Amino acid sequence: MSQKCVCSIDIGGSHISSGLFANGKLLAGSKQDLKLDSNGSAKEIYSVWSDAINQSINSDHAVAVKGLGIAMPDPFDYKAGVALFTGDNSKYKNLHDHKIEVHLAPLLGENNNLEFRFINDATAFALGEDYLGAGKDYNKGLYLTLGTGFGSSFINNGLPITTGNTVPKNGMLWHHPYNGKITEDFVSTRWFVQRFKELYGLETPGVKEIVDQIKLNKIDNTIFKEFGQNLGSILSQWIKDFDADAVIIGGNIMKAFSYFEEPLINSLKNQGIDVPVKVSKLGEDAPLVGSSLLFKPELWDKLQATL
């Protein structure tokens, strides 16, 4: 065996990505991306997950895999590896109370004894961007994943901060109250879908299609202006409390950043905040890079206290 590596896994609301990583670098030919129905049966979900993982592991027989680093969305018990999904987040409700390793390991063939380590998907994104991406030149970053849900993580000198008066509990903002609802209701794909119908009386499947409408001059930029203002209002106090020196944005909504960049920055400036707002450099690979770091001994030991 030429080197030891980690099989890094990113579990999303509609996909799984996996790949072999050594020293934070993806091994060529090992990455897999598979679609799935997160509201499917447990058997169906585990089948797709195991297919991706097995394909990645078997892509390079010259390496030894020392473990699985898994980025998983909230709600999840990351220390115990137990899914806490109830359906409120419209995903994985059929895995509620499952200890993932018990169900997934038997599907991994001769690799069924690998160690499983879990981390929040937004935190994995943040660690990846902090290590190799848009956040590597900053000490205290507020990292966001904007898409189906609203993920957040606060990183100080390479470590997630999950407790204390300067950050929300567990570093998570998605469920905090905002305008009579929760923040995720205002900065996620479902907000765009709902607001688009309110503004124009039309159905849309997502943000990409709204951008297409703007490019065709069929609608103006009102919806993204509102989104940027909402996001700025939600973030402002936390940026101040944490004394963040940058905001780094990832997730699918990031692809429309040019449409809400100015209203977001103006919203922050109106509240006395002037920090750089950057988009992800690693893109979809960021959470994979981050979860691969779970097997760095010096980092894992420190991460234990934050999970």
Same domain, 114 and 172: no
Mean pLDDT of the chain: 93
Q: Can you tell me the mean pLDDT for 27-46? A: 95
Closest residue by Cα to residue 166 from 238, 235, 232: 238
On whether residue 128 sits in a domain, the answer given is no
Which pLDDT does position 299 carry in this prediction? 83
Residues 6+ apart with CB under 8 A from 305: none
pLDDT band at residue 170, thresholds of 50, 70 and 90? confident
CATH of the domain at 98: 3.30.420.40
pLDDT, position 193:
96
Q: Find the radius of gyration of the CA atoms of the chain.
A: 19
In this predicted structure, the answer to whether residue 249 has a pLDDT above a threshold of 60 is yes
- What digits encode the pLDDT tens for the residues 187-240? 999 999 999 999 999 999 999 999 999 999 999 999 999 999 999 999 999 999
Give pTM, 2 decimals. Answer: 0.90
Question: For residue 234, what are the domain limits?
Answer: 137-280
Q: What is the pLDDT of residues 134-166, one digit of tens each?
A: 999 999 999 999 998 899 999 999 999 999 999
In this predicted model, what pLDDT tens digit does every residue of 83-109 receive, in sequence order? 999 866 668 999 999 999 999 999 999
Do 194 and 207 belong together in one domain? Answer: yes
Total tally of structural domains belonging to the chain: 2
In one-letter notation, the amino acid at residue 296 is K
